[in-house]
Amino acid sequence: MSHNISLKQQDHRIIIENEYLTLVTHPKSARIEKLYVVDKKGKKENVVLNYDDEVHWIADEFCFGATVGPVAGRIANGEYRNYQLEKNDGKNTLHSGSFGYHKQKFLLEKMDCTDRYAFVTYKADTSIYLGLPQVETMVTYYVNNNQLSIIFHGQPLETTIWNPTNHTYFNLSGKGKNIHSHILQLNARGQVELNEEKIPTGKVLPLDPIFTKSSFAEILNQYPTGLDDCFLLNKESSVPSLILFEKESGRKLEITTNREAVVLFTGTGMTSNHLVNGVPLQSEQGLAIECQEVPDAHHNLLSNIEYSKEESLYKWTNYQFSI
C-alpha cells in the first residue's frame, strides 16, 4: 500500500498526488480539472476532459468535471410543488438553471493529508437563490491509494429536492482520441424510458444486452445518435456498478456507488475549436458518467430526491483505477 501522498495548494487549485493518481480540483463548480492515472507502462496521463484555457469555463455548456446541482438533469416544466424554476432547456429546467452549482464558485471548507490519504472539501454558496429551498451542500474529494471517492453531504434548510452529481468525462486512453476503443460493462437492472425531451416517463425498460459488455464502437453503431440515457443500477450485487476498460493503456475504472442510477452521455456531436486536452474538442472524446438518482424523480417516483429539514444526506461514489 502507498504511504507517499501529498496535498498542496497552487493558485486556487488543490492538488493531491500519490504514485497512482494526481487529482487537480478547482473551486469553480468544485470541479475536477485534471486526473492523472498511471498506465500499464507506469506513465501518468490525464484521463478526464477539460478546456485547456480556463477562460472557457465561464460559458462551459458541457460542464466538464463540474459539480452539478442541487438537482442534476431535467425537471419537467421547471416545477416542484408550488415553486417555479428557470426554464433553460425549452419548457424544462436543466441542471438547476443558469446559476446552478456548475456556474458557482465553491468555498474551500477543509483539506487534510495523512501518510495514507488526503482530501479536500468544498462548500456551495447558499446565498445564491435558485428558486428552490436551499440545501447546505458540501462535496469532498478523497484519495486513498488507487481510489478516488466523491462524497456529497447535504443538509436541507426545509423540505426540498436534491440530486447532485459530478459531471466528469472520462477518456482512459489519456490521449486526444475518441472513446470507441473503450469497453463498457454496466451492472444495471433496467433503462429508464425517456420522452422526446429527455424527461423520464416513469417506465423502466429491460436492459439492452449490449450494455453488459461491449466496446463503444459497437454501442455507438447500434445507437448512432449517441447516449444521453439513464440506467437503474443493480444494488443487490457485489459486482461494481460500472466497469470501463481501455486496452492500449491497460487502464481499468471500476465504479461503486450508493446512488440509484447513472446517466451516461457520450458527447455525440459535441465539437468546438477550443482546445480540450491539447486538441480541438471532437465528438465522443469522453464519456460523462453521472452517478445520481433518477432525474425528475419527484414527478416519476422512480427514485426519492425529496428530503426534509431533519435529514442528513450522504451520497458517495468510488472510482477505483487499476492496470
For the chain, give every domain's residue range: 6-322
* Mean pLDDT, rounded, of the chain: 96
Q: What would the mean pLDDT of 46-71 be, rounded to a whole number?
A: 92
pLDDT given for residue 2 in this prediction = 46
CB-based contact 226:180 (threshold 8 Å): no
Dist CA 220 CA 83 (whole Å): 39
User: Could you tell me the pLDDT band of residue 55, with boundaries at 50, 70 and 90?
Assistant: confident
Dist CA 57 CA 51 (whole Å): 7
pLDDT given for residue 3 in this prediction = 61
H or E element in which residue 299 lies: helix 297-300
pLDDT given for residue 26 in this prediction = 97
pLDDT given for residue 179 in this prediction = 98
Q: What would the mean pLDDT of 92-105 be, rounded to a whole number?
A: 95
Q: What would the mean pLDDT of 128-154 be, rounded to a whole number?
A: 96
pLDDT given for residue 50 in this prediction = 95
User: Could you tell me the pLDDT band of residue 235, with boundaries at 50, 70 and 90?
Assistant: confident
Say yes or no to pLDDT of 1 above 80: no
pLDDT given for residue 128 in this prediction = 84
CATH of 6-322, one of 3.30.465.10, 2.70.98.10, 3.40.50.2300, 3.90.1150.10: 2.70.98.10
Percent of the chain clearing pLDDT 90 (strictly above)? 92
Any idea which residue has 445507437 for its cell?
A: 223
Q: What would the mean pLDDT of 314-318 be, rounded to a whole number?
A: 98
